[in-house]
């Protein structure tokens, strides 16, 4: 298969001199929080492109740490977010609806939003044909609808694994936002064959997996990183509204040595409620689609930066 040098999913759009975004009630920063609620299989099937468990099956320390997240961790995080009146937008491995419905009930009770994070975090999208990927999306939409009554509008590919079709297919299934692309701190329309799909900032670099995994930082350092990230985006939000997400994993952030330092960051962020819109993924993406979609496209056109075409079509 020919591989493209350029995904062509969005046009280059300089941060400077963009038309202004103002969030509801004049807010400068749209803040959302995305707990990943995941199921990693004990005995996942083989995939040629990626080995699910670094140590091979079974990887009991890896598995049981994630299970700790499900048994103990999500609850700690939910109770913490309750205290700050924050609603989560759940990045959901859809099979968890079947495995652990008790966790889902607790999210529904809190009026949290769900978006799709694939079926399992141990089933990768690589190598799926279009029909297979459509079937997975149908499963995701229908399963969440059946269990919660909610129509999901967001997508983050399982374990961040994609095909060339993924972004087009979610747009075609009337999803409003994708968390799969990390090119910006503001939303941007994606170039899909159909639909109106927004690339919503997911702030991957302040994801707890990055902080605690890739960067190996301490809990107090994570709180500091989150505060600095927030302060800068709030400052820039004066000029034009920005977005900050905190993507979380209970098996990491809800460890007993990490949850209270994380609370320090929430205290700081929620103390700025005059300037911050505390929202969910679909609320931010929906507002952008309604109010700023055309403005963004017009600005890219005006600057002569529109290259035409859609994803992977050159």
Partner 1 sequence: MTPEYLTYEKRAYGNDHDRYDWSYSKLRAPVRPEGVADVTAFIVVPLEFFPLNPSGKPFKHPGAMVTPYPDLRHFSTRDYGNRVGIYRILEALEAEGLKAVIPMNGEVLSRCAPLVERIKAGGHEIAAHGVSTDHIHYDGLSKEEESAYIEKTLELFGAVGITPTTWMSPARNESYNTPDLLTRAGFKVCLDWEMDQVPVAMKTETGPLTCLPNHGELNDFNLMHTKRQSEDEWREQILESAAFLASEAKTTGARVFGFTLTPYISGLPFRVRALREILAGLKEKGGVEVKTASQIASAWGDTI
- When asked if residue 130 is in the footprint of partner 1 (CB under 8 A), the reply is no
Q: Binding segment for partner 1 among 25-33, 125-133, 148-156, 178-186 (CB under 8 A)?
A: 125-133
- When asked if residue 159 is in the footprint of partner 1 (CB under 8 A), the reply is no
- When asked if residue 216 is in the footprint of partner 1 (CB under 8 A), the reply is yes
Q: What share of the chain is helix, strand, coil (3-state, %, to 5)?
A: 45, 10, 45
- When asked if residue 210 is in the footprint of partner 1 (CB under 8 A), the reply is no
Report CA torsion sign: 4, 193, 201, 145: negative
- When asked if residue 303 is in the footprint of partner 1 (CB under 8 A), the reply is no
Site string for partner 1, 90-119 (x = CB under 8 A): -----x--xxxxxx--x------------x
Residue in 12, 15, 26, 55 binding partner 1, rule: CB under 8 A: 55
- When asked if residue 134 is in the footprint of partner 1 (CB under 8 A), the reply is no
Q: Binding segment for partner 1 among 167-175, 198-206, 249-257, 302-310 (CB under 8 A)?
A: 249-257
Query: What contacts 24+ positions apart, CB below 8 Å, involve 230-233?
Result: 230/29, 230/31, 230/265, 230/268, 230/269, 230/272, 233/29, 233/185
- When asked if residue 224 is in the footprint of partner 1 (CB under 8 A), the reply is no
Q: DSSP secondary-structure letter at 210?
A: I
Residue in 111, 194, 220, 232 binding partner 1, rule: CB under 8 A: 220
Count of residues binding partner 1 (CB under 8 A)?
55
Min. distance of Cβ 304 from partner 1 in angstroms?
41
What whole-number distance in Å separates Cα of residue 253 and Cα of residue 36? Answer: 11
Residue in 7, 22, 47, 303 binding partner 1, rule: CB under 8 A: 47
Tokens of 302: 């005006």
Which candidate, 145, 132, 74, 61, places its Cα nearest to that of 103?
A: 74
| E strands in the chain | 29-37, 89-92, 113-116, 154-155, 177-178, 188-189, 198-199, 242-249, 276-278
**Which one, 109 or 149, has the nearer CB to partner 1?**
109
Q: Binding segment for partner 1 among 64-72, 183-191, 224-232, 268-276 (CB under 8 A)?
A: 64-72
Pairing of the two strands 89-92 and 276-278: unpaired
Tell me how far the alpha carbon of residue 169 is from its chain's centroid.
17
What whole-number distance in Å separates Cα of residue 228 and Cα of residue 222? Answer: 10
Min. distance of Cβ 26 from partner 1 in angstroms?
38
Min. distance of Cβ 312 from partner 1 in angstroms?
18
Residue in 129, 290, 294, 301 binding partner 1, rule: CB under 8 A: 129
What whole-number distance in Å separates Cα of residue 180 and Cα of residue 177? Answer: 9
Who's near 279: CB < 8 A, 6+ residues apart? 30, 31, 32, 287
- When asked if residue 145 is in the footprint of partner 1 (CB under 8 A), the reply is no
What residues line the site for partner 1 (CB under 8 A)?
39, 41-43, 45, 47, 54-61, 64-65, 67-68, 70-72, 75-76, 95, 98-103, 106, 119-120, 123, 126-129, 132, 135-136, 212, 216-220, 252, 255-261
């Amino acid at each position: 298969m020919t591989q493209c040098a350029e995904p062509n999913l969005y046009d280059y759009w300089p941060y400077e001199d963009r038309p202004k975004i103002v969030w509801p009630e004049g807010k400068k920063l749209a803040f959302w929080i995305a707990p990943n609620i995941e199921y990693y299989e004990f005995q996942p099937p083989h995939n040629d492109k990626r080995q699910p468990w670094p140590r091979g099956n079974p990887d009991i320390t890896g598995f049981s740490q994630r299970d700790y997240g499900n048994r103990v961790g999500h609850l700690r995080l939910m109770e913490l977010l309750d205290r700050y009146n924050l609603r989560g937008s759940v990045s959901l491995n859809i099979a968890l609806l079947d495995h652990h419905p008790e966790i889902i009930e607790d999210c529904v009770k809190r009026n949290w939003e769900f978006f799709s994070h694939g079926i399992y975090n141990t089933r990768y999208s690589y190598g799926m044909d279009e029909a297979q990927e459509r079937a997975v999306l149908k499963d995701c939409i229908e399963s969440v609808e059946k269990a919660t009554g909610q129509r999901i509008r967001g997508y983050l590919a399982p374990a961040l694994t994609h095909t060339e079709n993924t972004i087009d297919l979610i747009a075609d299934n009337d999803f409003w936002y994708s968390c799969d692309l990390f090119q910006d701190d503001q939303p941007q329309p994606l170039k899909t064959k159909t639909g109106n799909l927004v690339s919503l900032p997911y702030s991957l670099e302040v994801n707890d997996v990055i902080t605690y995994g890739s960067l190996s930082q301490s809990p107090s350092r994570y709180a500091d990183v989150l505060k600095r990230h927030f302060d800068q985006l709030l400052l820039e939000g004066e000029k034009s509204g920005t977005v900050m997400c905190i993507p979380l994993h209970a098996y990491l952030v809800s460890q007993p040595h990490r949850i209270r330092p994380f609370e320090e960051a929430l205290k700081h962020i929620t103390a700025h409620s005059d300037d911050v819109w505390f929202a969910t993924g679909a609320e931010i993406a929906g507002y952008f689609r309604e109010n700023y979609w055309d403005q963004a496209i017009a600005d890219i056109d005006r600057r002569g930066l529109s290259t035409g075409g859609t994803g992977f079509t050159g």
